Amino acid sequence: MSKHLNGSANGTSGGRKARRHCSIELVDAKVAVDLATAQTYSENVFLFVPNLIGYTRVILAGLSLHFMSYHPKYCTLAYCISCLLDAVDGQAARALGQTSKFGAVLDMVTDRCTTSCLLCYLSSAYPSYALIFQFLIALDFSSHYMHMYSSLVTGSRNHKLVTSDVSRILWYYYNDSRTLFFMCAGNEVFFVSLYLMKWVHTPISDSLPFLYIPPYFAYLASFTWPQLVALLSFLVCVGKNIINVVQLWKASKILVGVDLAERAAAREKSE
């Protein structure tokens, strides 16, 4: 079964027509379930290599949560490997021709849940800043959910396919792999550093007494290394969350535009 969503809307005072026309081919849910049940081993989306990497990420994230409250080394190792694999599954999908909607959503859900679980721990570790961590969780989930949904209703095959005329910031963020990796990695590094600050209390000058530190950087020697890493990655975290705000706002405008287009089409049909 297929359906098509076509939208048109009145423009500004000039009376211009909106140029957003979309066509999405939908598959009946029962048909989709039957296809997934009947898939063979040679063409089983659940067993695609990038999706197997995704399951590994979930397991590692679970291990990091298990160790989070009492073994920071194991927790950090499992968490960081899970995050680094995020940069591998996409490359594997493209190299093997195994891109899938399931894999894209699995990847996004794993990212959101992993970061949110760490932020929940940070809320208990830093109760004075719990409201900030709760806000970051809400912003992360709402921004990515609305962006994913707006991508689907406008016919995009991938939530990362953002054109520059929709948002230059999001276009650069999603279409430059180096920028995407740097921002995501820097954001996670900041949160992991905050976690390790609760466990590491030895200043750099004491932990590395043989290290020469220039006089104009001497004040940094009183920091622990997680504090120093947090200081260096803080602005990246701020930038990443500004992008989340932009993404939420642009997705909201797209959804409102689709609403207006559908309402205009309904009025035209009733006339």
Q: Measured between alpha carbons, how far is residue 22 from residues 47, 84, 152, 171, 262 in Å?
A: 32, 35, 10, 19, 11
More confident residue, 158 or 44: 44
pLDDT 10s digits, 29-79: 888 888 888 887 778 999 999 999 999 999 999 999 999 999 999 999 999
pLDDT 10s digits, 207-240: 766 666 666 666 777 899 999 999 999 999 999 9
* Mean pLDDT computed over 136-143: 98
* Given the residues 86, 89, 107, 111, the one annotated as active site: 111
In which element (H, E) is residue 103 found? helix 101-125
Q: C-alpha angle 143/247/158, rounded to 5°?
A: 90
Residue 241 in this model has a pLDDT that exceeds 50: yes
pLDDT of residue 16: 37
Residue 3 in this model has a pLDDT that exceeds 90: no
Q: What DSSP designation does 10 have?
A: B
Whole-model pTM?
A: 0.85
Pick the closest to residue 136 from 85, 187, 174, 183 (CA basis). 187
Lowest mean pLDDT among 78-82, 152-156, 185-189, 227-231: 152-156
Tell me, yes or no, if 111 is annotated catalytic.
yes
Q: Give percent above pLDDT 90 in the chain.
A: 67
Q: What DSSP designation does 85 have?
A: T
**By three-state DSSP, how is residue 176 classified?**
coil
Q: Kindly state the tokens that stand for 268.
A: 């035209």
Lowest mean pLDDT among 6-10, 80-84, 188-192, 244-248: 6-10
pLDDT of residue 8: 40
Q: How far is it, in rounded angstroms, from Cα 151 to Cα 76?
A: 33
Q: pLDDT category, 26, cuts 50, 70, 90?
A: low
**By three-state DSSP, how is residue 170 classified?**
helix
pLDDT of residue 43: 85
Q: Measured between alpha carbons, how far is residue 198 from residues 72, 189, 195, 209, 238 in Å?
A: 9, 15, 6, 22, 21
Dihedral sign, Cα of residue 115, residue 118, residue 124, residue 126:
negative
Residue 141 in this model has a pLDDT that exceeds 60: yes
pLDDT of residue 68: 97
